[in-house]
Structure 1
């Protein structure tokens, strides 16, 4: 059966999630801050219209945001991640296949229907997500993933201009040519700034001009990826959906990094030990989720780059005796690695671990006298089951310390409740 692609894009996703459970925010501008309440990472339409840029330091724009009566909130990733999964679950009921491209975007495939019918399908999906979850979405539909991305940007522009509700279906030729004449080459999905400069030197400004270039020139100057993008703009599908990888796939990740900035300066080795233990535990959980094991670990620490006290940053790598996904082994290694890089007298702002030398998990014998330890796997399976049922903070290694004693955790003074993932933070309806 012939299919086409659609890009489903949640509008102002973090701000929209905050509005779902707090109706008072629906009439107010909303801005969501990054880790440690540093920069603006999500803006409602009102905040965008006021000229507040993405990534704006909060302390520089605090006055302007207050003057607009903006609700300034700390990031609530537990809520955003859960609502994202719920959006995906709805899309799986409506689409043939679903690729979760990011936390707020999904590519899906639909039957290759007439343009009016596709528009109706897009509207059905949009209304269903809005009615069931309260999240507004846009839907851009095209014969290829790249044209679906173009359609999504067109849907965004049309909705802001008041011309539509957020659904746009890429037209057939010659109207498609007219559409692509209005798309700047630098706005094409997959065209970076370096390629944009190269194309400008050749006099290519629009997507229509780019797709008309000779294939040999595109391949020589922009590699096979550039050629695939040009063919996608011509209506030839070259990029399939990237569905969930099987666990332990040989094409799985090569490294895994877990790090966070601290809510304040950390000046003791004990707190750095706890932070590295927490990151090691979370990295091990991610390995097990993906059916992987690792043998290498790097620990790193850094102070704030600007301002006093003096700047210091360092990291060191080490190897474990055997491949593993057991958290305790990474925690022990991170504690050992911290010793040679720690320096007294500094206020540290960030720490983390990077796991490397990763491969699929499988029964193996690491040495002549080694054996595969099934009890380790049973223990980790039990830990994962508990965290799935009761949340990630339900069970921690002793090295992580008690929550009340972690003065190195992120600063999130204005975080909303985790309405959908914590029993003690469920919304209360008063009658």
Structure 2
């Protein structure tokens, strides 16, 4: 088959990704329903297909714990180190099989198949087979002429998996229109429940209705995003592949404490820890921060607890990625907003007003980050990258803090820690 001259996109999406990661190293759970919980084992944030009949997404775990146990559903605390590493392995396999790839999220990637010769549906099946063989993660593949249609094709590949085998090529107009008529507008990428309700008021209920709607009217009534969505559904490409993720404009690190904290010292430790994590992400995208926001708060839903929340924005002396400076400024900030007599549940560090080196004008008389600091931060990242996160850290960052979030049901870090490697027994 000659290569197509029209744009062709594929969306490769991992099936029940968090639950699938847990199964890779637990083959005994291959047919067991699984749920994964949020921070502090609070709510259900991921479900295997078998578990969906017993629990809704976002339900508090304490409310459904007994029901899940009764039906043999196994619960896991979130193991983000494992999920991140497995995601990187999946994306590496995909990138080796397609001309260009955009990692859209931890479990999704768009691929540009424009000009690729041969049977693209078979290529999708080859991708699916290789990812499963090399990583143990099942994926679905949707192929279409626009990114929005590829996303919908992926939805169809999973929804009708018995017929599609997990891969669906929707470039044919007949197949495309059949899926558009079968899917609701809320199934379309970027159309959330609130927007779907607005569209229903205009008698736009299905994806087909949205594709047939007048794009200019949608733009006037809603936004250019909805207009582009309608155009993409009708087959007009409006979204290009982003081979490289643009730098974030803000970087946040925030966690709930494993238990309520009343003293200042553990909160200072938490803030220092979050600064450490946030600056690692900052340097990874080669950005500098000009402002820093630190905030703390108590629990907000217990009527018997006194409530307090406060935050402060700090203007940094110069654009920086120096964890030492940012930690010192953050600790000074938390000292000013802490109030005794409250039981705190959460702290947050937000790096703001980010810029790239060379994108800002230096003040001739203002201080600036020294080349020595740049080299020191590089050494810090190299050591932690080779020997594991936290190998080298600020003295204010504890190794095993008491306030860390609860993860009582967490699996081993099978791929990221030597002492947690998978053991095979004879």
SS in structure 1 of the partner of residue 153 of structure 2 = helix
Whole-Å Cα distance in 1 between the matches of residues 31 and 189 of structure 2? 33
The 5 A counterparts of 1:43-62 are: 43-50=47-54, 52-62=55-65
Aligned residues of 1:364 and 1:371 also touching (Cα < 8 A): no
Q: 1:135-171 CA distances to partner (integer Å, 9 max, x unpaired)?
A: 1111111111111111111111112xx3332111115
- Asked if 2 retains the 8 angstrom alpha-carbon contact of 1:266 and 1:349, the reply is yes
State the Cα distance separating 1:193 from its structure 2 match: 3.8
Partner of residue 332, structure 1: 328
The one-character-per-residue Cα deviations of 1:50-77 (angstroms, maximum 9, x if unpaired) are 3x00111111111111112222111111
Please say if 1:346 is aligned against 2:342.
Answer: yes
Q: Is the aligned partner of 1:224 residue 2:220?
A: no
Aligned pairs for 1:37-116 (under 5 A) are: 37-50=41-54, 52-111=55-114
CA distance in 2, matches of 1:244, 1:70: 39
Structure 1 residues 364-373 or 52-61, which shifts more?
A: 364-373
**Cα separation, 2, equivalents of 1:164 and 1:181:** 17
Residue number among 258, 272, 275 corresponding to 1:277 in the alignment: 272
Q: Say if 2:384 is the partner of 1:387.
A: yes
After TM superposition, the structure 1 stretch with the greater mean CA deviation from structure 2, 4-13 or 308-317, is 308-317
* Distance in 2, Cα, partners of 1:112 & 1:373: 48
1:311 to 298, 307, 327: 307
The DSSP-based 3-state class of the residue aligned with 1:281 is helix
How far did 1:194 drift?
4.2
Cα distance change, pair 367–347 in 1 and its aligned pair in 2 (3 A):
farther
Distance of 1:163 and 1:215 partners within structure 2:
33
Whole-Å Cα distance in 2 between the matches of residues 108 and 207 of structure 1?
Answer: 23
Contact 2:215/2:228 (CA < 8 Å) preserved in 1? no
* Structure 2: runs of 5+ lacking an equivalent: none
State the alpha-carbon separation in 2 of the partners of residues 106 and 131 from structure 1: 18
What is the TM-score when the length of structure 2 is the normalising length?
A: 0.94
Does structure 2 retain, via aligned residues, the 8 Å contact 1:364–1:372? no
The structural deviation recorded for 1:2 is 4.2
Distance 2:311 2:166 in 1: 47
Q: Indicate the residue corresponding to 1:33 in structure 2.
A: 37
What residue in structure 2 maps to residue 297 of structure 1?
A: 292
Q: Match for residue 6 of structure 1?
A: 10
The 1:174–1:407 alpha-carbon spacing in structure 2 relative to 1, beyond 3 Å, is same
What's the secondary structure of 1:163's corresponding residue?
A: helix
- 2: CA distance between counterparts of 1:372 and 1:60? 51
214-223 vs 143-152, greater mean Cα deviation: 214-223
**Residues 222 and 372 of structure 1: is their aligned pair in 2 closer, same or farther, counting only changes over 3 Å?**
same
Tell me, what secondary structure is at the counterpart of 1:420?
Answer: coil
Give the CA deviation at 1:185: 1.6
SS in 1 for 2:8: strand
SS in 1 for 2:241: coil
Q: Name the TM-score, length of structure 1 as normaliser.
A: 0.93
Matching residue of 1:253: 248
* Residue 150 in structure 1 maps to residue 152 in structure 2: yes
Please list, as runs of the form range in 1=range in 2, the aligned pairs for 1:184-223 lying within 5 A after superposition.
Answer: 184-223=184-223
Shift of 1:355: 1.3
Match of 1:248 in 2: none
Q: 1:430 deviation in Å?
A: 2.0
| DSSP-derived class of the 1:128 partner | helix
Preserved contact between residue 296 and residue 356 of structure 1 (Cα < 8 Å)? yes
